[in-house]
């Protein structure tokens, strides 16, 4: 691997940024690593073990896999005589890197009682000790690569922090006991203002990472390879809603037969809807006739003014069609959000559920909630940008090989680590997936 992962010709600003000092690097490493463990504090030992669907990995696995990443891509190549904690972990905690060998089958991650949770923490400590040594005394001939991979490894661990909460929510929700991840209160949202449309003119715009990331990123100038190269696209005139769709708006769609009217749905969506018997977003249910929602704080009465959450692309698309609108392309979204601060409601807020849009945003007449609250489904197929070329070797499997059959989501959500996301960040899921914190923002052609 070369620095090119984050230092492509079109991402020039990055190389200009001064590299972090050993101390800054180690601090960042420790901050991210401890955050993963902090998220697990409310868990019982048993909660670390279960996997209730192929896509919802055990907490134990996440904690191990992110350590495996540092072991595989930093400690093995750059520390002479590094002693792996357990050679079998290379196999057990490889997610999908065929280049590192055939991974342990994903649907069977919940079949493993060993290593125990205690051993997993010992594994983390082992890796942390070795990483501290490496970061304090990086071999000079590899320091650039190490910085590069460290940034990637930390951003990778942050991605898994988000996945950890998504997966825990799903895994706990399958239990008729409906255990809460933690027992918090959930502030009710104020009534949402009527949705406003913001208009954008046609024209050629540049999209993709340009090197001017916000301070919070790990590290300045970092982006994933799928965010570049920066390039030009032409946008026809369009409009974007100034906030996310709310639960009460989505209830109107349901009340109007939304889940029974084939003409609102894509053909594949209609089939998924029938096969999986969707009648509402994931986690909605009724108790004594009252609409309820399962959250990381346990079951709560559905909040009509909160943004609707945990819908598939198919549902988002059907809702938009019902509303006489459509979803935005990822480039329409990026263009509209281009001047905005990438701040909002992230995991550091302590609230693990989306909140209503603020009444007044800055600047005025700009979309709100672009960053945080919920990942926003776009109509864009997740594909490579012109000139995209993944890195050499196993690390090149990070993003590129998934560029088919998935849809791009933008903006980050309420369980995303603060500072992790950015304007050009491209998240992606299959169109029938609902367990991420996904929401809906409407778009339309020009009026």
In the complex, which residues of this chain contact a copy of itself (CB under 8 A)? 44-50, 52, 60, 88, 91-92, 96, 98-99, 104, 108, 110-117, 171-172, 174-177, 179, 202, 204, 231-234, 236, 238, 262-263, 265-270, 314, 317, 326, 379, 381, 383-384, 386-387, 396-397, 401-405, 431, 445
Q: Interior CA angle at 108 toward 157 and 85, to 5°? A: 50
Q: Give min distance, CB of 59 to a copy of itself, in A.
A: 10
Q: Give min distance, CB of 405 to a copy of itself, in A.
A: 5
Q: Under a CB-based contact definition with an 8 Å cutoff, are residues 30 and 22 in contact?
A: no
Taking the least distance from each CB to a copy of itself, the nearer of 114 and 191 is: 114
Handedness of CA 140, 141, 144, 146 (dihedral sign): negative
Tokens representing 260?
């029974």
Taking the least distance from each CB to a copy of itself, the nearer of 31 and 174 is: 174
Ramachandran bin of 101, using left for φ above 0, alpha for ψ from -120 to 50, beta for the remaining angles: left
Distance from CA of residue 360 to its chain's centroid?
26
Determine how β-strand 231-235 pairs with β-strand 290-295. Answer: unpaired
What is the C-alpha separation between 181 and 353, in angstroms, rounded? 12
Tokens representing 97?
């890197």
Q: Under a CB-based contact definition with an 8 Å cutoff, are residues 233 and 204 in contact?
A: yes
Taking the least distance from each CB to a copy of itself, the nearer of 179 and 190 is: 179
Q: Give min distance, CB of 164 to a copy of itself, in A.
A: 14
Taking the least distance from each CB to a copy of itself, the nearer of 99 and 190 is: 99
Q: Give min distance, CB of 111 to a copy of itself, in A.
A: 4
Distance from CA of residue 260 to its chain's centroid?
30
What is the C-alpha separation between 88 and 73, in angstroms, rounded? 16
Q: Give min distance, CB of 442 to a copy of itself, in A.
A: 15
Taking the least distance from each CB to a copy of itself, the nearer of 12 and 386 is: 386
Q: Interior CA angle at 426 toward 37 and 312, to 5°? A: 85
Q: Give min distance, CB of 159 to a copy of itself, in A.
A: 17
Backbone angles phi, psi at 422, to 5 degrees: -165, 175
Q: Give min distance, CB of 191 to a copy of itself, in A.
A: 33
Q: Give min distance, CB of 367 to a copy of itself, in A.
A: 19
Taking the least distance from each CB to a copy of itself, the nearer of 12 and 99 is: 99
Handedness of CA 18, 22, 24, 30 (dihedral sign): positive
Partnered with residue 329 across adjacent β-strands are: none
Q: Give min distance, CB of 93 to a copy of itself, in A.
A: 11
Taking the least distance from each CB to a copy of itself, the nearer of 250 and 428 is: 428
3-state secondary structure of 400: helix
What is the C-alpha separation between 341 and 176, in angstroms, rounded? 41
Taking the least distance from each CB to a copy of itself, the nearer of 34 and 175 is: 175
Q: Give min distance, CB of 122 to a copy of itself, in A.
A: 14
CA-wise closest residue to 442 among 341, 357, 318 = 318
Strands (E), 128-245: 197-200, 203-207, 231-235, 238-241
Taking the least distance from each CB to a copy of itself, the nearer of 147 and 424 is: 424
Taking the least distance from each CB to a copy of itself, the nearer of 77 and 384 is: 384
What is the C-alpha separation between 225 and 389, in angstroms, rounded? 8
Q: Give min distance, CB of 374 to a copy of itself, in A.
A: 21
Question: How far is CA 247 from each of CA 142, 308, 432, rounded to the nearest angstrom?
Answer: 51, 5, 19
Taking the least distance from each CB to a copy of itself, the nearer of 18 and 113 is: 113
State the Rg of the chain over Cα.
22
């Amino acid at each position: 691997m070369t620095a090119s992962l984050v230092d492509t010709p079109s991402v020039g600003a990055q190389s200009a940024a001064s590299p972090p000092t050993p101390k800054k690097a180690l601090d960042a490493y420790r901050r991210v690593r401890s955050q993963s463990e902090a998220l697990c504090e409310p868990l019982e030992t048993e909660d670390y073990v279960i996997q209730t669907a192929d896509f919802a990995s055990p907490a134990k696995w996440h904690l191990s896999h992110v350590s495996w990443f540092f072991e595989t891509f930093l400690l093995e190549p750059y520390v002479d005589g590094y002693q792996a904690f357990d050679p079998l972990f290379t196999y057990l905690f490889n997610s999908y890197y065929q280049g590192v060998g055939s991974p342990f089958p994903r649907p069977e991650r919940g079949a493993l009682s060993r290593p125990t949770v205690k051993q997993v923490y010992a594994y983390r400590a082992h890796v942390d000790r070795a990483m501290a040594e490496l970061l304090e005394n990086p071999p000079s001939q590899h320091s650039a690569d190490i910085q590069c991979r460290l940034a990637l490894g930390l951003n990778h661990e942050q991605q898994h922090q988000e996945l950890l909460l998504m997966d825990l929510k799903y895994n706990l929700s399958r239990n008729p006991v409906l255990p809460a991840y933690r027992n918090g209160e959930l502030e009710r949202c104020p009534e949402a203002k009527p949705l406003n449309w913001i208009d954008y003119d046609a024209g050629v715009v540049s999209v993709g990472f340009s090197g001017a990331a916000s301070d919070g990123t790990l590290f300045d100038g970092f982006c994933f390879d799928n965010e570049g190269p920066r390039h030009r696209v032409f946008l026809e005139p369009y409009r974007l809603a100034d906030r996310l769709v709310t639960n009460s708006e989505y209830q109107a769609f349901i009340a109007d037969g939304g889940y029974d009217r084939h003409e609102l749905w894509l053909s594949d969506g209609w089939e998924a809807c029938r096969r999986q018997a969707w009648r509402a977003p994931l986690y909605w249910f009724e108790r004594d006739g009252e609409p309820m929602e399962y959250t990381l704080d346990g079951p709560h009465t559905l909040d009509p003014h909160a943004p609707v959450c945990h819908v598939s692309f198919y549902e988002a698309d059907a809702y938009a069609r019902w509303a006489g609108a459509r979803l935005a392309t990822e480039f329409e979204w990026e263009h509209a959000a281009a001047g905005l601060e990438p701040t909002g409601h992230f995991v550091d807020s302590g609230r693990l559920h989306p909140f209503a849009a603020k009444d007044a945003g800055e600047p005025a007449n700009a979309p709100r909630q672009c960053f945080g609250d919920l990942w926003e489904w776009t109509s864009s197929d997740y594909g490579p940008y012109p000139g995209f070329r993944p890195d050499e070797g196993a690390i090149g499997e990070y993003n590129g090989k998934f560029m088919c059959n998935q849809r791009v989501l933008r903006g980050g959500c309420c369980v995303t680590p603060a500072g992790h996301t950015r304007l050009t960040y491209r998240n992606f899921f299959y169109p029938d997936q609902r367990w991420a914190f996904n929401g809906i923002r409407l778009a339309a052609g020009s009026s």
